[in-house]
């Protein structure tokens, strides 16, 4: 791929550098504070029991290792595409393609889940049921967010800032209202702490599930061409995003698990996909449950916005190299990769039409862990003069990601392995074809 291809799209325009550190942090938080905290916390609690709080901390630790690797890669090679580009540059074309393929599989499913989660919370808050209506509202949400993202990154960043601010206020109200109930219920609901289905295995399974929630910081790296002063801004933004997210997840997790117990939280997730709303109903504070539902709705929209942003930039990067249709590499005069955005929206709409969110989170866990294993592998290949951190950091991140990936259900990682092999076979065929 020529330098020109890496810097411009088919329209001959660079992506504009319009995002500073605060905007990058809000984009990261918009991806992290959403489906993970409103839905997957309950899923992981059902697996790990009270030790889901330890799983949150472990997941954040693994994400920090990956974040440091992502930061030094993005600072040394600041282009859109994230590990897709890093894999090509520092490992091999096959590794780069696999990273892009895994990212697209994982995050497309996550985006569809966020859309359906938004629809579920919105309808449940008004007492409305119905799968067909939920699917229709989810597809409408995808279409609306796609149109917003296609309008340009600056407009998307402003909308994201509003969404994240409302979500943080909602979660702050949840913690404040539920703290008395959590302190009263902690002796009963947090003991024994390691009370999951399988001890250490349950903890690692829960960690794998919660890890997905922290991967939103990757939006900062995939937007590398649009961040001002990326060498300084990207590492700072990733660090701030991870620390803020960890603190928020631990506070919300403690209140939710200690107040109602992990079993009740898991049952609420399975029955209504709204564990925090169910927990808030037991706080005895008028209006909190409704505010939690409203916050979940805005959070899911924020996640959807950030996922479509990130996915469209990976499609853009893959199209530039010929790993996706060349037409998706077009960048409009206003700096928006509009064709890639619209293509992303169509794919997510197609997944949302299935109406199923049962297995998507676990599938995202496996594919995202493979993606970040490749991130760490690329960081290990950085030349000495481009290193910011010891090689032990990406080495530990690589081992952690590969280890956690196979603690999800066997049918999930088996499907992921087959899908990865199919993608690599197609890539090898394409490279041999004139």
227-280 pLDDT, tens digit per residue, is: 677 667 777 887 888 888 899 999 999 999 999 999 888 887 776 677 888 888
Whether 151 shows a pLDDT value over 90: the answer reads: no
CB 264 within 8 A of CB 272: no
Residue range 142-165: average pLDDT?
A: 76
Which phi-psi region, left, alpha or beta, contains residue 261 (left: φ > 0; alpha: ψ -120 to 50)?
Answer: left
Q: Is residue 8 part of a domain?
A: no
Q: Is residue 433 part of a domain?
A: no
Between these two residues, 78 and 190, which has the higher pLDDT value? Answer: 190
- Sign of the C-alpha dihedral, residues 192, 412, 83, 38? negative
Q: What CATH number does residue 354 fall under?
A: 1.20.1740.10
Q: What percent of the chain has pLDDT over 70?
A: 88
pLDDT score for 377: 96
Q: Is residue 434 part of a domain?
A: no
Counted domains in the chain = 1
Rg (CA), the chain: 20
Residue range 181-185: average pLDDT?
A: 93
Residue range 395-424: average pLDDT?
A: 92
Q: Which range is least confidently modeled, 14-23, 160-169, 312-321?
A: 14-23
CA distance 165 to 273: 23
Q: Which range is least confidently modeled, 63-72, 87-96, 211-220?
A: 211-220
Q: Is residue 126 part of a domain?
A: yes
Which own/partner contact pairs does 103-106 have at CB distance under 8 Å and 24+ positions apart?
103/310, 103/311, 103/314, 103/367, 103/368, 103/371, 104/311, 104/314, 104/315, 105/363, 105/367, 105/416, 105/419, 106/212, 106/363, 106/364, 106/367, 106/368, 106/371
pLDDT score for 4: 35
Between these two residues, 304 and 77, which has the higher pLDDT value? Answer: 304
Residue range 3-29: average pLDDT?
A: 59
Domain that holds residue 371: 17-427
Cross-strand bridge partners of residue 19: 227
CA distance 174 to 63: 25
Q: Is residue 4 part of a domain?
A: no
Q: Is residue 3 part of a domain?
A: no
Residue range 26-34: average pLDDT?
A: 77
pLDDT score for 344: 93
Whether 125 shows a pLDDT value over 70: the answer reads: yes
Instruction: Determine phi and psi for 227, rounding to 5 degrees.
Output: -100, 130
Residue 66, preceding peptide bond in cis (omega within 30° of 0): no
pLDDT score for 223: 61
Residue range 171-195: average pLDDT?
A: 90
Q: Is residue 12 part of a domain?
A: no
pLDDT score for 81: 64
CA distance 385 to 196: 46
| Tokens 């990406």 sit on residue | 394
pLDDT score for 137: 93
CB 199 within 8 A of CB 341: no
H-helix segments, 77-92: 83-90
Cross-strand bridge partners of residue 227: 19
Residues 6+ apart with CB under 8 A from 87: 95, 96, 97, 98, 99, 100, 374, 377, 378
Whether 221 shows a pLDDT value over 80: the answer reads: no
Q: Is residue 11 part of a domain?
A: no
> How many residues are present in the chain?
434
């Amino acid at each position: 791929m020529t330098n020109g291809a890496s810097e411009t799209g088919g329209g001959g325009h660079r992506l504009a550098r319009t995002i500073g550190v605060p905007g990058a942090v809000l984009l990261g938080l918009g991806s992290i504070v959403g489906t993970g905290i409103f839905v997957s916390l309950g899923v992981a609690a059902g697996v790990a029991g009270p030790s889901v709080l330890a799983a949150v901390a472990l997941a954040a630790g693994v994400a920090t290792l990956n974040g440091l690797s992502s930061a030094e890669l993005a600072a040394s090679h600041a282009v859109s595409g994230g590990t897709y580009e890093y894999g090509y540059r520092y490992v091999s074309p096959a590794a780069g393609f696999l990273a892009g393929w895994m990212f697209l599989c994982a995050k497309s499913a996550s985006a569809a889940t966020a859309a359906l989660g938004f629809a579920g919370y919105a309808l449940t808050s008004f007492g409305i049921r119905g799968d067909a209506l939920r699917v229709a509202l989810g597809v409408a949400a995808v279409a609306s967010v796609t149109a917003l993202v296609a309008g340009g990154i600056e407009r998307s960043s402003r909308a994201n800032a509003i969404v994240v601010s409302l979500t943080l206020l909602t979660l702050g109200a949840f913690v404040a209202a539920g703290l008395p109930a959590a302190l009263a219920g902690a002796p009963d609901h947090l003991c024994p702490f390691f009370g999951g289905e399988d001890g250490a295995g349950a903890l690692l399974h829960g960690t794998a599930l919660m890890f997905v929630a922290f991967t939103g910081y990757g939006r900062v790296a995939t937007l590398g061409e649009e961040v001002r002063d990326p060498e300084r801004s990207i590492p700072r933004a990733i660090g701030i995003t991870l620390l803020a997210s960890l603190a928020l997840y631990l506070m919300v997790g403690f209140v939710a698990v200690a107040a109602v117990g992990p079993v009740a939280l898991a049952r609420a997730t399975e029955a209504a996909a709204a564990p925090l709303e169910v927990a808030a109903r037991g706080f005895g504070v008028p209006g909190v449950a409704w505010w939690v539902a409203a916050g979940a709705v805005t959070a899911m929209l924020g996640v959807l916005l950030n996922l479509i942003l990130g996915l469209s930039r990976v499609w853009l990067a893959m199209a530039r190299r010929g790993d996706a249709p060349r037409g998706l590499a077009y960048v409009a005069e206003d700096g928006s990769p509009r064709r890639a955005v619209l293509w992303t929206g169509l794919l997510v709409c197609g997944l949302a039409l299935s109406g199923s969110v049962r297995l998507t989170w676990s599938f995202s866990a496996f594919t995202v862990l493979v993606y970040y294993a490749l991130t760490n592998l690329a960081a290990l290949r950085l030349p000495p003069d481009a290193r910011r951190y010891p090689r032990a950091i990406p080495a530990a991140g690589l081992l952690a990601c590969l280890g956690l990936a196979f603690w999800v259900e066997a049918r999930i990682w088996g499907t992921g392995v087959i899908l990865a092999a199919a993608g690599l076979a197609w890539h090898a065929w394409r490279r041999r074809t004139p």
